[in-house]
Amino acid sequence: MDIVVCVKQVPLTAEAEVMVDDTGRDIKKERLVFDVNEADNYAVEEALLLTEKFGGTITLVTMGPESADKTIRSLLAKGTHEAVRLTDEHFAQSDAFATAKTLAGALKTIKFDLVLTGCYASDDGYSQVGATLAELLELPHATMVTGLQILDGKAKIERELEGGTHELLEIELPAVLTIQTGINEPRYASILGLRKAMKKPIKVMSLKDLGLTENEVGRAGSKTILERLSVPPKGEGAQILEGAPEEVSTKLAEIFRERGVV
């Protein structure tokens, strides 16, 4: 089974101070640490489990600068086989549609039975690229996949719906699936794997290699344009009520009345 996993390098911002850059359309990244998108890590692990069971190859595909090679090599070290990085100045400011269009151009040059992506990217949270990619490739797809089995050329999947409910589906291959976090337990790369990964080539493709035009990618090919980013304003700090339970409950009731809650 030949599998393509679309992955993304994202900044780790949970414990970092995020500041908007001078363009107003991106954040300052100079002091941020980058790593593979969390959901994509689960997609890679699912691909590894499938190839361990059925054989085949795993090809990683990412859009990003040369600095993304570090993240790619950390995934190659886990046992994936090949990697493709899509890099071109014309890819800048791509929205979800233009990103999917670029990825689709690359996937049309790769043989695969299954395409996996993470269910969302932690830096934008759009959750649109996987489904859009499937439509552009004219393939069946399923999102938020929490369980996956391959049998007789079909994918038997369980996917998460709203309200905690789940759905069982059977999909013909080839197909595109977006993987939910928690579907498995991603492995760590071994030291030997890291050494081997440093020697593996990463194929670089630019716009001219994808059969696309400048108007189909980046800002020009995007359906939505990011106009401005802003950091949420800081609200007032929490008010701590002190005293005996009776005093605190009385103060709390007064606050509710003053603010029209009751």
Structure tokens at 82: 């090949």
Grouping H, G, I as helix, E, B as strand and the rest as coil, residue 242 is: coil
The 10s digit of each residue's pLDDT in 46-90 is 999 999 999 999 999 999 999 999 999 999 999 999 999 999 999
Residue 117 near residue 129, CB atoms below 8 Å: yes
- Share of residues in the chain with pLDDT > 70 (%): 100
- Share of residues in the chain with pLDDT > 90 (%): 74
pLDDT greater than 90 at residue 236: no
The mean pLDDT value of the chain amounts to 93
Cα 177 from Cα 110, distance rounded (Å): 17
The 10s digit of each residue's pLDDT in 190-230 is 999 999 999 999 999 999 999 999 999 999 999 998 888 88
Is the preceding peptide bond at 174 cis, omega within 30 degrees of 0? Answer: yes
pLDDT greater than 90 at residue 232: no
More confident residue, 186 or 124: 186
Q: How confident is the model at residue 181 (pLDDT cuts 50, 70, 90)?
A: very high
The 10s digit of each residue's pLDDT in 131-165 is 999 999 999 999 999 999 999 999 999 999 988 89
CATH number for 3-216: choose from 3.40.50.620, 3.40.309.10, 3.40.50.920, 3.40.920.10.
3.40.50.620
pLDDT greater than 90 at residue 18: no
